Chains A and B, each alone.
Chain A
Amino acid sequence: DTGVSQDPRHKITKRGQNVTFRCDPISEHNRLYWYRQTLGQGPEFLTYFQNEAQLEKSRLLSDRFSAERPKGSFSTLEIQRTEQGDSAMYLCASSSGLADYNEQFFGPGTRLTVL
């Protein structure tokens, strides 16, 4: 499968614990995006990378959230001191080129449940 992959697919954790998610984009895609989707809502933008540079972060991304893309390939999203409100589907997407209208290819998502 050469599409975007995410790991794990499901994560259940207790409030206050740290969690880390991984996203592997389509090979050679230079842009990588993170979104969060809660029940009944569309995906909400969190942050995006162009190669290894994090170019934009949403105000939704509190200090407890950090994302990295150290070598411009895979990316990780870490949530520290999780809260119940962090329960959501976390989506990763990637695209090629620099144009804003390029198609984003989405991964299957990581569903986080905070107890």
Chain B
Amino acid sequence: AQRVTQPEKLLSVFKGAPVELKCNYSYSGSPELFWYVQYSRQRLQLLLRHISRESIKGFTADLNKGETSFHLKKPFAQEEDSAMYYCALRTRLAFGKGNQVVVIP
């Protein structure tokens, strides 16, 4: 079975402060992991995926197979980062419950 855990439901951070969203997964095979984001009144969209090893909008995420984690990080939060963030696993995406991020100006 595949499972994704995002422990914090709501995260409030001040503008300019670092952001870290935690994601832990459970999967017996080789994991493919993603972060999806949903801005207010917009549809769900891909933020980044582990295979690309890229930084999108200042966000990065590193797959740690030993800790079965794929935490999302950004060194300096911006107001436009306020959104729902979902960690997801594999093709038939197993989503976590999501993190509501509120950036306080």
Contact = CB atoms under 8 A, between A and B. Distances in A.
A43 B95 contact: yes
Nearest to A31: B91
Contacts of B43: 3, 106-109
Given A48-B92, A100-B91, A40 B97 contact: yes
Which among A40, A44, A100 has the highest number of chain B CB atoms within 10 Å?
A100
Interface residues of A, number: 23
A100 B91 CA distance: 5
B98 A42 contact: yes
Interface range, B side: 20 to 34
Contacts of A48: 91-92
Say what secondary structure dominates the interface of chain A: loop
A42 B95 contact: yes
Interface in B66-84: none
A112 to B, nearest CB: 17
A91 interface: yes
Contacts, number: 49
A103 to B, nearest CB: 5
A37 to B, nearest CB: 8
Contacts of B91: 48, 100-101
A103 B34 CA distance: 9
Nearest to B100: A40
Interface of B: 4, 6, 32, 34, 43-46, 49, 51, 86, 88, 90-98
Interface of A: 3, 33, 35, 40-45, 48, 56, 58, 91, 93, 100-101, 103-109
21 contacts: A3-B43, A33-B92, A33-B93, A35-B95, A42-B4, A42-B6, A42-B95, A44-B95, A45-B93, A58-B92, A101-B32, A101-B34, A101-B49, A101-B51, A103-B46, A104-B93, A106-B43, A106-B44, A106-B45, A107-B43, A109-B43
